[in-house]
Structure 1
Amino acid sequence: MTLDQLRPVANRALDPFVNVSERLGLTPNAVSVVAMGLAVAAGAAFAFAGDAPLLYLLGAVLVFLNGWLDLLDGALARRLGTASPAGDLLDHVLDRYADIVMLVGLAAGVRQWAIGLAAVTGVLMTSYLGTQAQAVGLDRVYGGLVGRADRLALIGLVGALAAFVTGALSGLTVVGWLLVFFAVVGHITALQRFYRSMRALR
């Protein structure tokens, strides 16, 4: 299911935005920081959307913008020739904090803290296994059921849906079920990456 496989297509679509960013003198790190700010704003919108459902729509737009900028920073770094381990580290740290604030915001909005905790740990373990493979000498792993691009797309789509669908199924709203999905599939994806990495190391 992973949308990460479509990165080459997305990179081509980014060219006009990279051109504009270059002309404006933006740095990849600055773009990463702005993307993080959008994630924080999305998390805040989700957290208060339980009482004002239309905030879910705002949060969804901010999530999509975060995802777009997350692609833009890497493309800009390659254009400028400034890609570096330090920039890669900053990007990954900010991405993980962005994941956390968006998921915590979703959990706060529906007041489902236990499910939210399970979703956060699933997402973090998925990302950890992806980069830990590289740390032990393998290529960085993006495979599995759900990658980051998939998560952002799902959060954006379900967030937009939640603005208009407020009913519950078995006690959970669409946002609650999204958190359940991330909790289950996140850990499955992490185990997939672990299994593939272990096989490659033998």
Structure 2
Amino acid sequence: MTLDQLRPLASRLLRPFVSLSVRLGLTPDAISVLAFLLAVAAAGAFYVGDAVGYVAGAILVFLNGWLDLLDGAVARETDVDSEGGDLLDHVLDRYADVVILAGLAAGVGSWLLGFAAVTGVLLTSYLGTQIQAVGLGRQYGGLLGRADRLALVGIVGVLSAVIPVVGGFSLVAWLLGFFAVVGHLTALQRFWGAWGDLRGSA
């Protein structure tokens, strides 16, 4: 079960923030851009690589994920949801994923692990939207969705402030390796599920 399945609960919790955003005149696109800027700030904090940086990065990643939910909710509330806004949101989400993982990799000097993690994450996201493109609906499921990744980054960020090394490797390196393996497995899981649906409906 992935955290993406808890979107209905998150939607209820978002209600006060949606109302506040509407009163402040914040547009969905502005919220999407703000979420991306927080991701860039998180990457910078992770690059610093000390205890304060990891905790700050974890908080910023949490805020990025929260705003990523908020932009869509505000768009629906104000009836301005559009294909252009959806495109901007998805592009900024992918860049946010890349910069966050790059910040983590740079902080521990594990560029190879960073590359493997980024490709796993991007392929997971790509399969989700490509499945939608062939008419099966947007796919959020699998072993590891975006909400799960952000939650794990936040948890590891906090833990890295007090337990930086586990089993001879940094906790961040373990996380990047996990994202690399599980990210690609999630992409394949989504592919095979969609492939089976397409073959079944043929």
Q: TM-score range by the shorter chain?
A: over 0.9
Aligned partners of 1:60, 1:9: CA distance in 2, in Å?
A: 22
Instruction: Supply the distance in 1 between the matched residues of 2:166 and 2:77 (Cα, whole angstroms).
Output: 47
Superposition map of 1:1-202 within 5 A: 1-49=1-49, 52-169=50-167, 171-202=168-199
Q: Is the 8 A contact 1:130 1:141 kept in 2?
A: yes
| Offset at residue 40 of structure 1 (A) | 0.2
Distance 1:4 1:59 in 2: 22
Query: 1:42, 1:102 within 8 Å by CA — same for their partners in 2?
Result: yes
Q: Could you say what secondary structure the match of 1:14 adopts?
A: helix
**1:115-171 Cα deviation digits (max 9, x unpaired):** 1100000000000000001111111111110100000000001001101112242x4
Q: Displacement, 1:172?
A: 1.5
Residue 48 of structure 1, CA deviation = 1.3
Structure 1: 4+ residue segments shifted above 4 A: none
Describe the superposition over 1:83-117 as per-residue Cα deviations: whole angstroms up to 9, x where unpaired: 11110000000000000000000000110010110
Structure 2 counterpart of 1:105, which letter?
Answer: G
For the 8 Å contact 1:54–1:164, the answer to whether it is kept is: no
Structure 2 unpaired stretches of 5+ = none
**Normalising by the residue count of structure 1, what TM-score does the alignment of the two structures yield?**
0.97
Aligned equivalents of 2:89, 2:164: Cα separation in 1: 35
**What letter matches 2:21 in structure 1?**
S
For the aligned residues, what is the CA RMSD?
A: 0.8
Q: Which runs of 5+ in 1 are unaligned?
A: none
Aligned length: 199
Q: Separation in 1 of the partners of 2:83 and 2:68? A: 16
SS at match of 2:26: coil
TM-score (ref. length: structure 2): 0.97
- Report SS of the residue matched to 1:140: coil
Q: Which amino acid aligns with 1:190?
A: A
* Cα offset, 1:47, TM superposition: 0.9
* Deviation of the 1:25 alpha carbon: 0.5
